[in-house]
Amino acid sequence: MRKFIWGLLVVVFVGGLVFLGFNSSKTLMTSKVGKITEKQFYEDIKTSSAGQQEFANMVINKVLGAEYGDQVSDTDVQNAYDAQKAQYGSSFKTVLASNNTTDAQFKKNIKNNLIINAAIKANYKVTDKQLKTAYTNYHSDTTISMITAKNEAKAKEAIAALKNGDNWNTVYKKYSTDSTYKSSNGKMPAFNSTNTSIDSAVQTAAFKLDKVGDYSTEPVTGTSGSYYVIKLNKKTTKPSMSSLRSTLSTQIVTDFINDSSNTSEIQAIVGKILRKNNVSVKDSDLKTALNTYLTAGISSSSSSSSSSK
């Protein structure tokens, strides 16, 4: 259920670390054994692995933001924020606190990641083969009603009641513990297979139902361990591939970004953009902070060039 755009929570690993960026002798701490100045603090931070990574993030966000920032709107950021908040529910504030970040910082991280996504999308070529495969696996807008049961036993009781002819609304009121869709007896907004906010297990079960009114005859076990009973309300006709091209391309790129096996390719794309913008690190302590990106893809392309001579 908790699919994230690339690095959505990872980028807060430094917990709001801010570079002071100047050589100040201002005292930050005093003690019997000595003091710590801003300069000492800054020098220590920038040579640490966390500081090196934060510097790399700052450079990437600055360069990519200038080139692709206009492709991300405030609405995009708010929608992504709302989706993440909804998935964590009442534990959302705890998650932010455990990552040592605030709402404002979290939204900033979301925006930076959406910009990275836009940059990768602009520099990643989606093939016709990928599009055809994505279209084959695509499921159109589907509307379901869902009972969130207290446990597996209660889910089975709910299913038994439905099999005995009890009305869905009656069974929902008796067995569902969810309050989000209580007023509609569990009816949820339509979703398709590109949706990232609906539990993948729920999607899989929903797409297997054929006729309106059909319901799951076994409890659906969610990825978070919850138990559901779902009923099909509506399934729309699958659109043409040409009309879905943009949607499918976005899905392909998102899957590419979320696949950890593609990390080196993503770094190569970011590195290409940094090199195009003539990024050059002047501080000797930070000189290698961007090496992972600036050298990504170069060795393989150089080898290809050499072997072709």
Domain spans of the chain, in order of start: 25-122+258-293, 138-233
- Give residue 204's pLDDT band: very low, low, confident or very high (50, 70, 90): very high
Residue 150: CB atoms within 10 A of its CB come to: 14
The verdict on pTM exceeding 0.85 is no
- Cα separation, 190 vs 187, in Å, equals 9
Q: What is the pLDDT of residue 6?
A: 39
**Position 3 pLDDT exceeds 70:** no
Q: CB neighbours of 213 closer than 8 A, spacing ≥ 6?
A: 231, 232
d(CA 112, CA 134): 27
CATH architecture of the domain covering 138-233: Roll (3.10)
The two tokens of residue 109 are 């991280």
First to last CA, the chain: 50
pLDDT tens digits for 90-139?
Answer: 788 888 898 888 999 999 999 999 999 999 999 999 999 999 999 999 99
